[in-house]
With several copies, the nearest count.
Chain A
Amino acid sequence: MGRIVFAGAMSHVLDPDYYQAACGDVGRQKVTAVMAAIAAMGERFAAAEADALVVIADDHMNAFSFNCVPAICVRIGRTVQRLIQAEAEAFDKVLEHMPVEYPLHEPLATGILEQGLRSGFDLAMSWEAPVDHAFLSPVNTLLGARPVPPLVPIFVNAFIAPQPTARRCFQFGQHVARVVAGGPWNVGIIATGGLSHFPELLLSRVGETDTVFDRKLIHWMEQGEHEPLLDLTADELHKTGSHEFLNWMVLLGAVTPARAEVRYFGELPRINLAAVEWRLA
């Protein structure tokens, strides 16, 4: 029987130069610290010898177009490509040393997709969507020079309203856990993004966070109290700039009722950086 052998969640812009430019020296210090915490989590991930790594992240209008914005989309096929874009954003540019192509864990991804549709999840599928910093920065930081295990990238629509609800993301995570349990593989899972930044997705509020809200989320995750998180509304997530917490909700569904341990939490004006790991039974 398959098991989730590692579960973590972390911010996904992991670029010291970017935060130096955005927040000065303290930006560089804090992002360097969260990256060190993620690298330490990577030691434990490597020791777990997972057969696959599920990565739950959101699209930044890089992979999908307005022709089709999926609520939840499973990336299937044999390989996935790193986003390649002329004049990429700085935090995507820092990944240019990474390989262009990564293996996918085809049977696990296909299982999540097929069993999902059979169970009433209206999942989109993609053979082509590339992965950007939201997927690859955490993978890169977690693994360092180690080889990247076969990935299962899953896209959650965090930004284009209407998004899936926090509850639905959690339910989808429970589904992922059932698929893992029904298979033969040891699986790692990470969710990326956050914590609070870009409230209301307004340029005029870039630079604000909601630390009180973030600490409340962390408290519930540490306690393994997931009920209140299920009731998070689209409005709360939007107003606090917690859009990307939807990715974390998927992970919570997959590991519930496990408790979180905070490896790093650091406030910046622009975003609150975090790295969290779950204590699995």
Chain B
Amino acid sequence: MSRYAINSLLYHLKKDAALRARFLADPEAAIAGADLTDAERAAFVAGDMRTLNELGGYLHLVMSVPRIGTHGGQGLHLREPLESPTDSRNPREE
């Protein structure tokens, strides 16, 4: 059920601030080299953590990647913090 390619990318997004910054600026470009299926790639680009979790991404990564993870299961989408980085729905940003 777990999917290494998803989890590896989530893990590196969590641990590697430079990759994360590139991803936040241009998700497609940042993950162009990753070995992902089309569905996985689309879910990353959309910041759709629920789909990534259903495709085999570990919950704790899906929740905890700074700015990208749902961080508490609130279904935060990537586009929102990008447009409004102090969005109050993300408690980490408070």
Q: A and B: direct contact (Cβ < 8 Å)? A: yes
Contact of A201 among B17, B58, B75, B94 (CB under 8 A): B58
Number of A residues near B (Cβ < 8 Å) is 30
Q: A202-B59, A203-B70 are in contact. Are A18 and B91 (CB under 8 A)?
A: yes
B8 and A66 form a contact (CB under 8 A): yes
**C-alpha gap A11/B72 in the complex (Å):** 16
Residues of B within 8 A of A22 (CB): 72-73, 91
Cβ proximity bits B50-77 to A, threshold 8 Å, 1 near / 0 not: 1001100011111110110011110100
What's the A-B contact tally at a CB cutoff of 8 Å? Answer: 76
Q: In the bound complex, do residue A161 and residue B7 qualify as a contact, i.e. CB atoms below 8 Å apart? A: no
Please classify the interface of chain B as helix (H, G, I), strand (E, B), loop, or mixed, using the class held by over half of its residues: helix
Chain A CB within 8 A of B78 CB: no
Q: Given the interface contacts A66-B7, A201-B58, A201-B59, does A60 sit within 8 Å of B64 by beta carbon?
A: yes
Q: In whole Å, how far is B76's beta carbon from the nearest beta carbon of chain A?
A: 11
B87 nearest CB across to chain A (Å): 13
How many of B's residues come within 8 Å of A, CB to CB?
30
Closest 6 CB pairs of A and B: A206-B73, A87-B66, A201-B59, A21-B91, A203-B53, A127-B4
Can you give 9 contacting A-B residue pairs, CB < 8 Å? A61-B64, A66-B7, A90-B91, A159-B58, A159-B59, A161-B1, A161-B2, A202-B59, A203-B59
Binding site for A on B (CB under 8 A): 1-2, 4, 7-8, 11, 14-15, 17, 49-50, 53-54, 58-64, 66-67, 70-73, 75, 91-92, 94
